[in-house]
């Protein structure tokens, strides 16, 4: 979703802001802009398109301002164009604002402002917002921060904002509610950003602002207050993120890098938690609620997108190992229903960013009904990690590619460990099986490494299908969610229509689509459903479908039936999704590259959906 950067200090702000916008490109956006205070006025440069286009229109200009704000916009109110791009300036030209989120009551505010003589150039709620703040500031003769505080009590919706004013050219003011905002602390200088990626090259000391907090930066000092004007004592966190982690490191795309990082990222998930030699599994993040988990009568998993697919796999795992019924809900649907949640139910919220708006709203609903919420997130200090009762970080490192890859396998790893630990505590798993699964899990990084060796073969297969119009993905049992995930990856980055189905459901509709032009990807690893999946492949071939099969290494039956086979190492079927998803990630990546698509920043998509 939209990205914010801000700077106040003693350096030239423009290159810091421009580079910060480049760091935020992965979030997904369609226009970009920067505002500076320079030569006695607010100087705004904004452009539809990518940061490079903003860079082109400013390349011959010299900037010396030491304060500024920048933004990458993902359109909500108003189409993507130069006028609707942020920053937006008030009618007087005295205030400039950047804004993530949605002001839901902007229509009524706009109507009142028009009656008071204000005019509007854009279609955005943000231009209304900045003029509303200015109207309060002028009519009440208030400071910028006090006017903002009053304005925020009257707007409905989510926001992360940063504002500069001609009246106070050395002051930067920011606030958040429901949309992330990070304050970076330097020596007599300050950085603002939607996440830590634009900040890490300048400082590793940050503050993750809380909901309804306002920060004022001026004269080398900062002050944080809540919506009631009460001073807050923030927690200063030291970032462990390394700059190299957000660079491509010789890869053509972040997605390619992140696919190939998975042996390391999965191992990092287990580090300090799993000791296969000693047969130990330690999950400190859920220690206080371990008994509640093992005694739960029901688990509800809430997530969106790829995280929802991880939740589907987790449903199989928890029910098998812990014998606890599990429901997997789209957070966006859960929050608008009147779900049956009982006190003591366990709700597991899964999100890579930890900022997904629908998941956050679903958490608040679940908590209001007495549920215990465990968060499974990747981003340290994120909103979901703070509002959950307890949880577990993925420790997968930053994921820059919009299409999630290593976060998915990290989620599966952490969820498997949580289920395994709960089963051990509950006594629903025999000791020998517990030890066997621990050992198998510890071997997954090396097996993923081996699965990645099929890259060249998958690239060759991709070349044959890069012009296909449709794909069908089939899987059974644990591999059914993998089929969904494979189809989603292809849709996301190559723009080819694809559907994932339980293989047995093919006969209940999708089989009508199969002909010689329909590639069918079948996850056909050797497990308890193997004989059934073989029958499904035969059904596809009988209708002249083209089969690309992901099979267990050494399979001698399916290669004689399928048109193409991709081998993956053998593992326990409950762990197979960690391995079988790898070829599907690579297939979608190579097809997208061959089609000339923007792999890391697919059209219309955002990395973190922080608005409804």
Yes or no: say if 82 and 48 are a contact pair by the CB < 8 Å rule: yes
Residue 104 falls within a domain, yes or no? yes
Tell me whether the omega of the peptide bond preceding residue 87 falls within 30 degrees of 0, making it cis: yes
Strand 346-351 relative to strand 299-303, pairing: parallel
Tokens of 120: 């509007």
DSSP string, 431-487: HHHHHHHHHHHHHHHHHHHHHGGGHHHHHHHHHHHTT-SEEEEEE-GGGHHHHHHHH
Q: 45 pairs with which residues across the strands?
A: 34
End of a domain among 210, 245, 280? 245
pLDDT number for residue 269: 94
E strands, 90-232, are 95-100, 159-165, 171-177, 182-185, 190-193, 205-208, 213-218, 221-225
Instruction: Name the strand (E) or helix (H) holding 267.
Output: helix 262-270
Residue 607 falls within a domain, yes or no? no
Yes or no: say if 451 and 568 are a contact pair by the CB < 8 Å rule: yes
Do 379 and 410 fall into the same domain? yes
| Ordered alpha helix ranges (H), 182-261 | 254-260
CB contact burial 125-139 (16+ within 10 A = b; e otherwise): bbbbbbbbbbbbbee
Closest CA to 486 of 464, 509, 462, 507: 462
CB contact burial 88-99 (16+ within 10 A = b; e otherwise): bbbbeebbbbbb
Yes or no: say if 500 and 588 are a contact pair by the CB < 8 Å rule: no
Q: What is the CATH number of the domain that holds 162?
A: 3.60.20.10
Please give the Cα distance from 166 to 44 (Å, whole number): 13
- Residue 33: HSE in the Cβ half-sphere, 13 Å Cα cutoff: 26
Please give the Cα distance from 397 to 375 (Å, whole number): 17
Yes or no: say if 178 and 161 are a contact pair by the CB < 8 Å rule: no
Residue 333 falls within a domain, yes or no? yes
pLDDT number for residue 406: 95
Yes or no: say if 340 and 286 are a contact pair by the CB < 8 Å rule: no
Yes or no: say if 518 and 546 are a contact pair by the CB < 8 Å rule: yes
End of a domain among 197, 217, 245? 245
Tokens of 346: 């366990």
Do 396 and 469 fall into the same domain? yes
Sequence-distant contacts of 53-58: CB under 8 A, at least 24 apart: 54/18, 54/21, 55/18, 58/14, 58/18, 58/34
Do 155 and 120 fall into the same domain? yes
Do 183 and 311 fall into the same domain? no
Do 162 and 98 fall into the same domain? yes
Do 101 and 238 fall into the same domain? yes
Residue 574 falls within a domain, yes or no? yes
Do 20 and 92 fall into the same domain? yes
Residue 606 falls within a domain, yes or no? no
pLDDT number for residue 506: 78
CA torsion through residues 276, 277, 280, 283, sign: negative
Yes or no: say if 215 and 183 are a contact pair by the CB < 8 Å rule: yes
For the chain, what is the radius of gyration of the CA atoms? 25
Yes or no: say if 69 and 40 are a contact pair by the CB < 8 Å rule: no
Residue 7 falls within a domain, yes or no? yes
Residue 444: domain span: 254-594
Phi and psi torsions of 422, nearest 5°: -65, -40
Q: What is the CATH number of the domain that holds 523?
A: 3.40.50.10490
Is residue 607 part of the annotated active site? The answer reads yes
Orientation of helix 106-115 relative to helix 125-140, angle to 10°: 50
Please give the Cα distance from 280 to 324 (Å, whole number): 23
Tokens of 168: 């106070």
Do 32 and 107 fall into the same domain? yes
Yes or no: say if 109 and 152 are a contact pair by the CB < 8 Å rule: no
Marked catalytic residue, from 2, 269, 304, 322: 2
Residue 577 falls within a domain, yes or no? yes
Do 241 and 275 fall into the same domain? no
Q: Count H helices and E strands in the chain, helices first.
A: 18, 26
CA torsion through residues 268, 22, 89, 172, sign: positive
Yes or no: say if 68 and 17 are a contact pair by the CB < 8 Å rule: yes
The predicted-structure confidence for 224-250, as pLDDT tens digits, reads as follows 999 899 999 998 988 776 666 666 778
Do 142 and 25 fall into the same domain? yes
Tokens of 580: 């079988």
Q: Interior CA angle at 198 toward 195 and 202, to 5°?
A: 120
End of a domain among 227, 245, 263? 245
pLDDT number for residue 347: 96
Residue 307 falls within a domain, yes or no? yes
Do 278 and 354 fall into the same domain? yes
pLDDT number for residue 263: 96
Do 393 and 533 fall into the same domain? yes
Number of domains in the chain: 2
Residue 600, Cβ neighbours under 10 Å: how many?
23
- The pTM for the full model equals 0.79
Please give the Cα distance from 258 to 397 (Å, whole number): 9
Helix, strand, or coil here: 134? Answer: helix
Tokens of 576: 């197979």
Q: 217 pairs with which residues across the strands?
A: 172, 222
pLDDT number for residue 337: 84
Question: Which residues of the chain are modeled with pLDDT < 70?
Answer: 1, 28, 241-247, 606-612
Any idea which residue has 């993998």 for tokens?
Answer: 482
């Amino acid at each position: 979703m939209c990205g914010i950067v801000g700077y106040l200090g003693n350096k030239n702000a423009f290159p810091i802001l421009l580079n910060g916008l480049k760091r935020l490109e992965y979030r997904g956006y369609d226009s970009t802009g920067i505002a500076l205070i320079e030569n006695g006025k607010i100087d705004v440069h904004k452009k539809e398109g990518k940061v490079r286009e903003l860079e082109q229109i400013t390349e011959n200009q010299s900037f010396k301002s030491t304060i500024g704000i920048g933004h990458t916009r993902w359109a909500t109110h108003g189409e993507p164009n130069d006028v609707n791009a942020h920053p937006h300036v008030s009618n007087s030209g005295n205030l400039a604002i950047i804004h993530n989120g949605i002001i839901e009551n902007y229509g009524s505010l706009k109507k009142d402002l028009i009656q008071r003589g204000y005019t509007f150039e854009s279609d955005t709620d943000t231009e209304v917002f900045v003029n509303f703040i200015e109207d309060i500031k002028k009519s009440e003769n208030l400071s910028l921060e006090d006017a903002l505080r009053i304005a925020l009590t009257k707007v409905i919706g989510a926001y992360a904002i940063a504002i500069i004013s001609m009246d106070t050219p050395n002051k930067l003011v920011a606030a958040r509610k429901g949309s992330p905002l990070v304050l970076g602390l330097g020596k007599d200088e300050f950085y603002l950003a939607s996440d830590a990626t634009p900040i890490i090259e300048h400082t590793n000391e940050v503050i993750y602002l809380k909901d309804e907090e306002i920060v004022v930066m001026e004269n080398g000092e900062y002050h944080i207050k809540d919506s009631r004007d009460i001073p807050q004592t923030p927690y200063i966190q030291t970032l462990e993120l390394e700059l190299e982690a957000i660079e491509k490191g010789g890869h053509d795309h972040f997605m390619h890098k992140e696919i190939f990082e998975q042996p390391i990222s999965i191992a990092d998930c287990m580090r300090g938690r799993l000791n296969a030699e000693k047969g130990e599994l330690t999950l400190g993040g859920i220690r206080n609620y371990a008994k509640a988990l093992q005694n739960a009568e029901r688990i509800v998993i809430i997530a969106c997108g790829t995280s929802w697919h991880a939740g589907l796999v987790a449903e199989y795992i928890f029910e098998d190992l812990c014998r606890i019924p599990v429901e997997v809900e789209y957070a966006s649907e859960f929050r608008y229903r009147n779900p049956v949640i009982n006190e003591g139910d366990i709700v597991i919220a899964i999100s890579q960013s930890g900022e997904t708006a629908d998941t956050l709203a679903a958490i608040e609903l679940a908590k209001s009904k007495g549920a215990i919420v465990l968060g499974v997130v990747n981003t340290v200090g994120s909103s979901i990690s703070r509002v959950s009762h307890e949880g577990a970080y993925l420790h997968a490192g930053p994921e820059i590619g919009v299409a999630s890859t290593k976060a998915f396998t990290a989620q599966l790893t952490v969820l498997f460990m949580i289920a395994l630990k709960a089963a051990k505590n509950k006594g629903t798993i025999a000791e020998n099986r517990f030890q066997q699964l621990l050992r198998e899990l510890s071997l997954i990084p090396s097996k993923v490494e081996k699965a990645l060796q099929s890259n060249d073969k998958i690239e060759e297969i991709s070349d044959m299908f890069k012009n296909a119009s449709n794909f069908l993905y089939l899987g059974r049992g644990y591999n059914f969610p993998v089929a969904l995930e494979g189809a989603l990856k292809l849709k996301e980055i190559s723009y080819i229509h694809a559907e994932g189905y339980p293989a047995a459901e093919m006969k209940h509709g999708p089989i009508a689509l199969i002909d010689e032009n329909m590639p069918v990807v079948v996850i056909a690893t050797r497990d308890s459903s193997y004989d059934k999946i073989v029958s499904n492949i035969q059904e596809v071939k009988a209708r002249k479908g083209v089969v690309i099969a992901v099979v267990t290494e050494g399979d001698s039956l399916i290669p004689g039936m399928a048109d193409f086979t991709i081998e993956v190492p053998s593992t326990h079927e409950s762990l197979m999704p960690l391995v079988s998803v790898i070829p599907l990630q690579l297939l979608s990546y190579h097809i997208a590259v061959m089609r000339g698509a923007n792999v890391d920043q697919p059209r219309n998509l955002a990395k973190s959906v922080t608005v409804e």
